[in-house]
Structure 1
Amino acid sequence: MPNINTKGNVTVLGIDPGSQRTGWGVVREVSGVLQLVDCGVVRTASAGKEFSDRLAKIYHELSAILIRLKPEEAAIEQVFTAKNAASALKLGQARGVAVAACAAQGLSISDYEPTLVKKSLVGTGRAEKEQVSFMVQRLLNVKNADWALDTSDALAVAICHLTMRRFAALAGK
């Protein structure tokens, strides 16, 4: 975890990177209570024929979200698997532009393995996406959320980060 202030209230942007759909969610923790600020998905299908156009759309949309919502920290899911090498490369590039958008705004960025995110919310690192979505809704006190699974994954990353911050504070780090 980067050198971050583990004291006080904080607003975190969580990102679930993808070359076609990048989920994002902003969660604020105030006195130990989680609050949903905003969330959504950057969809790149309409960005243009070139892959670079899709990457640019991810960068620009995340940059606009960062400027509008002003989170203090960012958390992003690590790339863990892909169907083939070309898919892994595209996913890595999408993750890279998401990191660059956050870094350009001066945010500290933490990254988390998908299994750690799932384990911190559901109790098992092999949880299904629907289980993660269910827990995200419960933890944020949201009923009948109609967001995409990419969005709930991004919110899960933000919640995982906030959990790790609390552990770091308890450990005196």
Structure 2
Amino acid sequence: MRILGIDPGYAILGYGIVDMKGNRFSVCGYGAITTDSSMEMPDRLKHLYTNLMDIIQEFEPDVVSIEELFFNTNSKTAILVGQARGVAILACANSGLEIREYTPLEIKMGLAGYGRAEKKQIQFMVKTILNLNEVPKPDDTADALAAAICHGNCAGHLSKVERYKALGK
């Protein structure tokens, strides 16, 4: 299974692509799509969409794991990040991809087994699980890889829950 992880943002949108075979992960690629603060918001969103579509076309993921919006006390920032997140979801939906959403707590649980894990611990887990020489930078990239790994670790459990629900239990 090839998983595209996305950490949404309008200034920096992190992405990471991993392959999962059995219970092993390997990294296919990762990086960040950045927008300049001098750009108008519609142009920033278009830039995010276009670049994400290129990444989807290049790596051909099977599923997308995207971080849910973490409530921010700054409502303007939350709205702008929400717009970028919507654009990312649209790009994935337009590409016919299955989209799974995880809260930051769920991602931490999926990697470290503890929902209140520190950022450095999650970054260490990403580095270790993917057998990387260093923690990917910027942080948004490591967060996107964490989202992808989280889905890989949870996918089997999710399908069992979905089968159980389909049986009406």
Q: Which residue of 1 aligns with 2:7?
A: 16
Q: Which whole-Å deviations, capped at 9, do the CAs of 1:24-82 have from their partners, x for residues lacking one? A: 00010112211101000111116x52011111111011100000000011010000122
Q: Which whole-Å deviations, capped at 9, do the CAs of 1:88-130 have from their partners, x for residues lacking one? A: 1101000000000111110010100011101211222222222
Structure-2-length-normalised TM-score:
0.90
1:22 CA displacement = 0.5
Q: Per the alignment, in what secondary structure is the counterpart of residue 42 of structure 1?
A: strand
Supply the AA of the counterpart residue of 2:46: A
Q: Which residue of 2 aligns with 1:159?
A: 149
From 44, 50, 56, the equivalent of 1:54 is 44
Identity %: 39
Q: Which residue of 2 aligns with 1:119?
A: 109
Structure with more helix by fraction: 2
Q: Which residue of 2 aligns with 1:75?
A: 65
Structure-1-length-normalised TM-score:
0.88
1:84 CA displacement = 1.3
Supply the AA of the counterpart residue of 2:57: I
Separation (CA, whole Å) in 2 of partners of 1:159 and 1:98 = 18
Structure 1 vs Structure 2 CA RMSD: 1.6
Gaps of 5+ in 2: 164-169
Question: Does the CA-based 8 Å contact 1:117-1:160 persist in structure 2?
Answer: yes
Q: Within 5 Å, give how 1:88-167 maps onto structure 2.
A: 88-167=78-157
Q: Which residue of 2 aligns with 1:34?
A: 25
1:147 CA displacement = 2.3
Does residue 35 of structure 2 align to residue 44 of structure 1?
Answer: yes
Aligned length: 163
